């Protein structure tokens, strides 16, 4: 049994689904603002952190084609999620609403035809992203159904069954055949998220919503090094290693966020907004002119 596989079937699909649910709100912005925002908050950190993580993992290795691989093969680094997400948001400009709904089944069929590889994964997760957009646009009709007691119980049972199967080695990750059980499992967490959002803990977590990119890009490298450090110290208990990893990943995010707030220039590691910089520069010039007068 591999405890690390418990959440594998629905961890990334759930993140793509939730990202898709944000698409309708994002599309309310003008196209230029929309694209600049995605480049600033997704493409930029993907490039910056992909290069840094690759450099740490392959110091001294001769890979002159790395930059090309970041575009052709995003799975070169653990930041591939951001690359896929950037493409999905670009696709979302055209495939949203009823068009996105119509593309869900073809996307999943494309995943099945391509097979269990990077291409198959791309279309598999695209289907969940588009499904999130569809659910978000019809939340008033779908959520009352999902929140019904019998639906919650059934979804929870499916989620436990899928997690158990994965933990015991059944390959269900990114497999279109299991996409419906995966979606049902994701539906099981929606009532929990809804209840958490109304609690004090949920509101405290929500305050960090706009800074999730900091936690995302840092958690993987920090958790890998934390795992290796604990292993070298002789820690072999799986639960202790998992708890240590989680604590290290979260601590790194909070420390980085505190540093960014203390030293705003560090925000360039997680966001690059040329327009805001131009506005800020204009204000500085205007201030200088007014003081000289």
Q: What is the pTM of this model?
A: 0.81
The per-residue pLDDT for range 49-62, each reduced to its tens digit, is 888 877 666 555 55
Instruction: Report whether pLDDT(287) > 50.
Output: no
Neighbours of 94 (CB within 10 A): 9
Predicted local confidence at residue 203, as pLDDT:
58
Predicted local confidence at residue 16, as pLDDT:
92
Q: What is the mean pLDDT of the chain?
A: 80
Boundaries of every domain in the chain: 3-207
- Range with the lowest mean pLDDT among 57-66, 83-92, 220-229, 244-253? 57-66
Residue 290's pLDDT band (boundaries 50, 70, 90)? very low
Tell me the C-alpha distance between 252 and 256, whole Å: 6
Tell me the C-alpha distance between 86 and 89, whole Å: 5
Predicted local confidence at residue 280, as pLDDT:
44
CA-only gyration radius of the chain, Å: 21
Predicted local confidence at residue 278, as pLDDT:
45
Residue 107's contacts (CB-CB under 8 Å, 6 or more residues apart) are: 123, 124, 126, 127, 130
Written as one string, the DSSP assignment of 5-16 is: GTTTTTHHHHHH
Give the length of the chain.
Answer: 293
The per-residue pLDDT for range 240-284, each reduced to its tens digit, is 777 787 788 888 888 998 999 899 889 898 988 755 444 444 444
Predicted local confidence at residue 165, as pLDDT:
84
């Amino acid at each position: 049994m591999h405890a690390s596989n418990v959440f594998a079937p629905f961890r990334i699909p759930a993140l793509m689904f939730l990202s898709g649910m944000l698409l309708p709100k994002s599309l309310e912005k003008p196209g230029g603002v929309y694209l600049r925002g995605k480049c600033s908050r997704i493409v930029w950190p993907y490039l910056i952190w992909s290069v840094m993580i690759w450099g740490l993992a392959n110091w001294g290795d001769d890979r002159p084609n790395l930059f090309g691989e970041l575009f052709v093969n995003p799975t070169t680094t653990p930041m591939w999620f951001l690359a896929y997400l950037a493409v999905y948001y670009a696709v979302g400009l055209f495939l949203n609403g009823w068009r996105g709904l119509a593309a869900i089944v073809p996307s999943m069929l494309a995943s099945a035809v391509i097979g269990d590889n990077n291409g198959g994964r791309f279309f598999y997760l695209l289907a969940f992203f588009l499904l999130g957009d569809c659910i978000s646009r019809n939340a008033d009709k779908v959520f009352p159904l999902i929140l019904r007691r019998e639906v919650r119980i059934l979804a929870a049972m499916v989620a436990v069954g899928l997690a158990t199967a994965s933990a015991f080695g059944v390959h269900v990750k990114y497999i279109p055949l299991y996409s419906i059980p995966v979606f049902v499992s994701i539906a099981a967490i929606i009532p929990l998220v809804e209840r958490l959002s109304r609690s004090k803990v949920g509101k405290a977590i929500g305050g960090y919503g706009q800074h999730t990119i900091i936690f995302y890009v840092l958690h993987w490298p920090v958790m890998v090094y934390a795992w290796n450090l604990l292993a070298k110290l002789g820690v072999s208990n799986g639960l202790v290693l998992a708890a240590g990893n989680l604590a290290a990943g979260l601590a790194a995010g909070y420390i980085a966020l505190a540093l960014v707030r203390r030293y705003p220039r560090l925000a360039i590691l997680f966001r690059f907004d040329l327009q805001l910089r131009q506005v800020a520069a204009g204000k500085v010039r205007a201030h200088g002119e007014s003081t000289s007068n």
